[in-house]
Structure 1
Amino acid sequence: MLSAIPYAVMAIVAVVDVAAGSDAGFLPLISLGPAFAGLVGGWRRTAWIGALALALSLGLGLYDGLWAHRRGITALVSVTGVTVAGLVAAVMRQRREAELASVRSIAEVAQRVLLRPVPRCAGSLRVAVSYTSAMADARIGGDLYEVVATPYGVRTIVGDVQGKGLEAVETAAVVLGAFREAAYDEPELTAVGERLEHALDRHLTAEKFVTAVLAESTTERSMTLLNYGHPAPLLVWQNGGATFLAPPERALPLGLALHGMKGPHPHTVDFARGDQMLFYTDGVSEARNTQGQFYPLDARAALLREADPEDAVEALRKDLVTYAGGPLHDDAAMLLVRYRGN
């Protein structure tokens, strides 16, 4: 539809010019054709529309008898100048689009390397994940997640880096790298958290931080959680009931706890066959509808009844976007785990 605008504008101007006569002075408006072409089309198309506008100006000028007057020359110069300007605009826009496409491609590769696919099955768990970035142009954000099977059980992290863009991605890479090593090395979940603290202490500057929740699932049908100022996971029981697993005490995010504050205390919850646990970032819990109301995550627990975990988390993601009424204003990551043991 946008591609038809230059032709429509020139046709309207031509009809009005013929109907109104030469005294109305509508002929220079033919230059609107190449002007719009430079905004929505490539340089070749802009050149073609510019040539068409020049031909139309010559024809209307002859029809109106303007070439014996200065007004005809002025109209022709106007159309020529706007056509040249449209060509320059089209070339510059195409170059910027090519640069943006290159940056977007690099960002997507970086995101795939950083947030590698999680295993669909890990120990006694089935896993599904969803990630929606608020930065549509670059498709990259600061939310993070990982699931690893270790000698000490299946360990999970979901986190949210303060800030956006490549700086946030760099911090997320530090957290995930430290977690992937510490999860295998440390027998205690609290020690894993301490390793993350030390890694971020070397990396972060000023008052930057990362909210995160660490989880550990063993063969004893339980889940141990370690929450660093992150939104509480949502536990959905087999009977459909749901509750948020708030920690016994609030703790500072990662990156701040080394400043004279104690870290979080681990707490353990029952996690049996048929139960589900949803980890998420504040892009989910703080999404608002057009009336400014927060997304009622616990009230949407029924959407997680899909047989396949990936279908369940996708249904929740679609509902979230529908509730927000458009693109999200913050990155939204969701990681769903289901107990599949006997």
Structure 2
Amino acid sequence: MSATWTDIPYDAWRGTCAALHLYTQIAGKYKLARTPWLNHSWHATLYVSARGLTTSLIPDASGVEIEFDFLEHRVVGSAADGRKAHFALVPMSVAQFHANFLDLVAQLGGKPVFHGRPNEIPNPVPFQDDHAARPYDADAVSRFFQALVTVCCVLERFRTGYIGKVSPVHLFWGSFDLAVTRFSGRRAPLHPGGVPALPDEVTREAYSHEVSSAGFWPGGPATPFPAFYSYAYPSPDGFAKATALPAGAYFDDKLGEFILPYETVRTSNDPERALLAFLESTYQAAADLGGWDRAALECRGGEPLRPRPVDHH
């Protein structure tokens, strides 16, 4: 597919980005409330679609799917019995979006009951009480979506080179990042918790096993620019001093992870190659320093119509 590395400066759509983050939390919390728990909270995530972000099928009523349509800028709900409903993504308050969303789910025959306060945000305001006016910059959202599609495809390609346990490429609405996670297969030390507005039991279940995780943020208070990240849990000795590629990647001591600005990738001669270099070099640092059995966990990267060869011993 043709790649579109759009320019998405965070400052240009900061308010819209913050609003969209909260809107995805509302949809994600509905999915969370209706879906059986899956390891590492994978049951609650959103997925990149050809039009935006989707919940995928939620086991509520006849079967419900919610999609953020970033081409026509609306939230679309579909039910397996044929019912559909939608409302426009326009400037509004979080409280108004919340009310619209509850009505949409009800129109689909679903049960719009879920936890009503944001997660992973300091001093969270309940959705129904957040009446501040929020912008919606449709052009900025469209650019973000095009970048998200391009990044998703690269993360999917990176994912194919691993035969061990690996997550889907999915969007965590708590921190609003698109992520892919590789697992060593070994249990991890108990996570200390302490993530703002997130129960420690959720964090500890998410990090129950050793991981090397990488992904993409559009920007936020911790990194006020779009960036790729990579971290390991537990972080092995020497990880922060490891060499990360390409030039421009660095270890952020405050965040405890490697960072590569999106702009560095976007403006490089070969953005996909630059991003893959970051993903591979930081994973290899985590795996080598952590003593992972790389020979047993890795495989050739996937290609269309080419099954992975299997050796018989």
TM-score of the aligned structures, taking structure 2 as reference length:
0.28
Q: Which has the higher contact order (CA 8 A, sep 6+)?
A: 2
Name whichever structure is richer in helix by fraction: 1
Compute the TM-score of the two structures, normalised by the length of structure 1.
Answer: 0.26
